[in-house]
Every structure is written in C-alpha cells, then in structure tokens.
Chain A
Amino acid sequence: DAGVTQSPTHLIKTRGQHVTLRCSPISGHKSVSWYQQVLGQGPQFIFQYYEKEERGRGNFPDRFSARQFPNYSSELNVNALLLGDSALYLCASSLTAGHEKLFFGSGTQLSVL
C-alpha cells in the first residue's frame, strides 16, 4: 500500500508569493494533519482536518489555510510568503481524529528567497 504522498518535494518561492502544497493520505485514513518543521526543531502543528472539517489550528497566522477534499486529500496554502516560512512542511494521516500514531509523508521543502 502507498504511504502518505506529498507534492512537490521541493519548492523555491520569493517573498510575497503564494504557495500550495498537496497531500494524499494513506487509503482509508480520514484525518490529515499539517506540521511545519524548521531546521533543527521538532515539527510544529499547523492544522488538522477530519472528514473534510477543520478540527484544530495551531498558532499560525491567517496567511496559512488548508482544506480537505471528498477523497480525503488535502491542500495547505500559504499567502504573502515571508523568509521565515522556509521550512519542511509535513503532512500526516491517521484513521481517526484522536490521539493515535500518525503516518508522515516525506514532506515538501519550501525555500523562500
């Protein structure tokens, strides 16, 4: 079975631009979470979606938004990019919305110049 897939793997943008990151969860998983990992730090929670509804939001500005589609795939959008948005963006899926093990994708490495 395929794991969590994310696209693109790498992305270079300039300040002020907009970016869309995509994630396909493991088949049968209905929950998708997004995390930001800055170099040398642990992942930081951004959003959780379950059954196409937002179930939680971390401490990130409104420039960050996400949605989940009927097939449970998800998009993370970031507007007005800042240099500080450069990071590895990780998508994770799980069967339910509760506290259980998350299956992570390999991430999208975003560089903002």
Chain B
Amino acid sequence: EDQVTQSPEALRLQEGESSSLNCSYTVSGLRGLFWYRQDPGKGPEFLFTLYSAGEEKEKERLKATLTKKESFLHITAPKPEDSATYLCAVGVNYGGSQGNLIFGKGTKLSVKP
C-alpha cells in the first residue's frame, strides 16, 4: 500500500536554530516527491518537486533532498515567518488518475523569536 509518513508531527525551534523535517515513503512507482507549505486557513502552497534520488532543490532558507526511500526538508536559520505546516506528497497512479498525490499528515513548525 502506498504510504507517506512525516516526522516529527510538531517541531518548535528558536529563531536561527536549523533543523530538518523527514518524509519517508513506500510507493510502487514514484512519480515525483512534492513539498508544500500550508498556513492556517489556507490551501497548500507549492515549494519543491523532486524526481530522482540524489536530487536537491533550494529556495531561500529551505533545501529539499531525495533518496530512494525518504526526503528531507532542511531549514537553515529559520525565522518566525517560516512557521507553518509542511506537507510532503508523492505522485502516484491511483484510481486511474495521473495527477493524484498522496499526502503525509504534515509537520507543524513553530519558530519563536
């Protein structure tokens, strides 16, 4: 069964304290690993797509990496505005859809000044 597991469920950091979020997955035929950011009361906002093991992408203080079984979202010197829930999703062919994503439960990040 295709599955996405994110850890930790919640993470509290001090401003400037770097850390990593983990996303482990078991899918039959990965068609992209996606990271989204979701603020309260809003829809998810796209951050990164990774397609093959060893691939890395960066955006400001965020860096996403991918291995054959997991992905990491590294946050360097976070600021309070980075506080949000970070969702990991994998692209699969399920229910006949080529565009279906399976999401993890997310990691709720809080950054204190």
Contact = CB atoms under 8 A, between A and B. Distances in A.
A42 interface: yes
A24 interface: no
Nearest to A99: B91
Interface stretch (A14-22, A77-85, A101-109): A101-109
Contacts of B95: 45, 56-59
A55 B49 contact: no
A35 B99 CA distance: 12
Interface residues of A, number: 32
B34 A57 contact: no
Contacts of A55: 96-99
A104 B44 contact: yes
Given A99-B91, A105-B43, A48 B100 contact: yes
Contacts of B91: 99
B41 interface: yes
Contact of A43 (B45, B49, B103): B103
Contacts of B96: 55-57
A33 B101 CA distance: 10
B42 interface: yes
A100 B46 CA distance: 10
Contact of A107 (B34, B43, B49): B43
15 contacts: A33-B97, A42-B106, A45-B97, A55-B96, A56-B98, A56-B100, A57-B96, A58-B100, A97-B97, A100-B32, A101-B34, A102-B46, A102-B99, A104-B43, A107-B42
